[in-house]
Amino acid sequence: MADRPTIIYLNNAATTWPKPPEVLEAVRQSLVLPVFGSGRTTGSQGEDYISLAREALSGLLAAGPPEHVIFTQNATDSLNVLIQGFLAANGDGCHVITTELDHNSVLRPLHELERQGRIQLTVLPFEDGAVRPDTVEPAITPETRLMVTAHGSNVLGSVQDVSRIGEVLYDHGIFFIVDGAQTAGHIPINLRDLPVDAYVFTGHKGFFGIPGTGGFYLRDPDSIAPVRYGGTGTDSFLLYQPHEMPERFESGTHNYPGLAALAAGVNYVASVGVNAIAEKAERQMAFLVGELKEEPNITIYNESPLLPIVSFNIHGMENDDVGFILARAYGIVARTGLHCAPLVHRAIDGGTGSVRLSLSWFTTDEECRIAARAVKEIAQHANSSFGSP
């Protein structure tokens, strides 16, 4: 990647950069050639990017029939479709469980529904970066019908035991939606084996796609009612939304360049191997955490992340100031603040927020060394005037 700017990009939990050349070329080709959509156009001059992306995701995630992979705008959109669709199919008044680990893409829809009086909501606390599965069953009431939670924390880099949680919920007939925005593409996922009813993904993080794509896998289509209606290119005489998958949940024109990028990104991840990606991330995170632990005035909020994410604060400094210095003095792009996960921060730092470094497959060992050295230098100068390195 000869034209890559001389910055160190460590904000991959927000969106990955750089993108693989294959992804950029797929986007270019999708705009150069005419759009081709099965059932919507004739000819064969273009690629059917929708089907390519669906099949690639179904294969990588072991998601069963490809038509059970539904495309949306992003993970937040997917969660809204699933949560609203569950209520549309099952009625208001149920009890829902979520966790303090969750992102606002889960918390805000659920809290808004609670404010409207449409659901009762319980928010479970976490310990050591995850909710203990044995705390789920005591939270279940006769009215509990749904649980929504993150697979991985975008602040702590921890991974929840959704398999064990899913087993508990299955025994009580409770629908389980898992937000995989931070885990899909980073760790191996086999949806045939996981006891989850719906699994949400995004295109622009671990799959190296571009923003504006995401979706979900849905095990039982009848469990969720559509909440959007419109043209699908099929059954056009029918004045109601088709029941068949995936048209049941996909109306209107797809984001063809985005799905071209997603198909290429998923295939790239498959070619590298998710295990190789996870192993490299584990090694680099062990180095980074080990280096930061050497400074006594750095607080690391999870010293054993399973995802390539580490959040920390430097005593006596605002996290925004640390991020500013990293960017201006070292050319390091990080993330500061609450990371759209307010309940995590309320639990770990009193709601002040943190500095977050997040890696990708393209992060080099040298970049990790530079980042560790930069943070340590800032920490060492925390109580004195900071000068350029």
What are the phi and psi torsion angles at 311 (to 5°)? -115, 140
Is the pLDDT reported for residue 386 higher than 80?
Answer: no
Establish if 389 belongs to a structural domain. Answer: no
Instruction: Give the pLDDT of residue 389.
Output: 42
Cα–Cα distance measured from residue 16 to residue 358, given in angstroms and rounded to the nearest whole number = 9
Is the pLDDT reported for residue 263 higher than 50?
Answer: yes
What are the phi and psi torsion angles at 337 (to 5°)? 110, -150
Q: Are residues 289 and 197 in the same domain?
A: no
388 pLDDT tier (thresholds 50, 70, 90): very low
DSSP 384: S
Establish if 249 belongs to a structural domain. Answer: yes
Is the pLDDT reported for residue 66 higher than 80?
Answer: yes
The residue among 234, 253, 272 that closes a domain is: 272
Sign of CA dihedral 47, 42, 247, 103: positive
Strand stretches in 54-112, DSSP E: 69-72, 94-99
Pairing type for strands 198-202 and 175-179 reads: parallel
Element holding 50 (H helix, E strand): helix 49-61
- Cβ-contact 195, 47 below 8 angstroms: no
**Per-residue pLDDT tens digits for 280-321:** 999 999 999 999 999 999 999 999 999 999 999 999 999 999
Instruction: Give the pLDDT of residue 40.
Output: 57
- Tell me the CATH number at 85: 3.40.640.10
Pairing type for strands 8-9 and 332-333 reads: parallel
- Cβ-contact 174, 140 below 8 angstroms: yes
Pairing type for strands 198-202 and 214-218 reads: antiparallel
What is the amino acid identity at position 171? D
Q: Are residues 268 and 236 in the same domain?
A: yes
Mean pLDDT of the chain: 94
The residue among 272, 288, 321 that closes a domain is: 272
Among 53-57, 256-260, 384-388, where is mean pLDDT lowest?
384-388
**Per-residue pLDDT tens digits for 114-166:** 999 999 999 999 999 999 999 999 999 999 999 999 999 999 999 999 999 99
266 pLDDT tier (thresholds 50, 70, 90): very high
243 pLDDT tier (thresholds 50, 70, 90): confident
When divided into structural domains, the chain yields a total of 2
The residue among 238, 272, 306 that closes a domain is: 272
Q: What percent of the chain has pLDDT over 70?
A: 94
Q: Are residues 32 and 149 in the same domain?
A: yes
Q: Are residues 194 and 297 in the same domain?
A: no
Q: Are residues 123 and 255 in the same domain?
A: yes
Domain ranges, residue 127: 21-272
- Tell me the CATH number at 366: 3.90.1150.10
Mean pLDDT of 194-201: 98
Q: Say which residue the tokens 């990708």 belong to.
A: 360
Q: Are residues 301 and 186 in the same domain?
A: no
- Neighbour tally for 356: CB within 10 Å: 25
Q: Are residues 116 and 159 in the same domain?
A: yes
With a CB cutoff of 8 Å and minimum separation 6, the contacts of 2 are none
Chain centroid to CA 126: how far? 19
Sign of CA dihedral 187, 190, 194, 198: positive
Q: Are residues 157 and 217 in the same domain?
A: yes
46 pLDDT tier (thresholds 50, 70, 90): low
Establish if 3 belongs to a structural domain. Answer: no
ω into residue 18 within 30 of 0, thus cis?
yes
Q: Are residues 291 and 342 in the same domain?
A: yes
Q: Are residues 90 and 105 in the same domain?
A: yes
Establish if 385 belongs to a structural domain. Answer: no
pTM, to two decimals: 0.94
Mean pLDDT of 372-388: 79
Q: Which of 341, 339, 292 is nearest to 320 (CA)?
A: 339
Q: Are residues 12 and 94 in the same domain?
A: no
Establish if 113 belongs to a structural domain. Answer: yes
**Per-residue pLDDT tens digits for 347-362:** 999 999 999 999 999 9
Pairing type for strands 175-179 and 144-150 reads: parallel
Instruction: Give the pLDDT of residue 1.
Output: 40
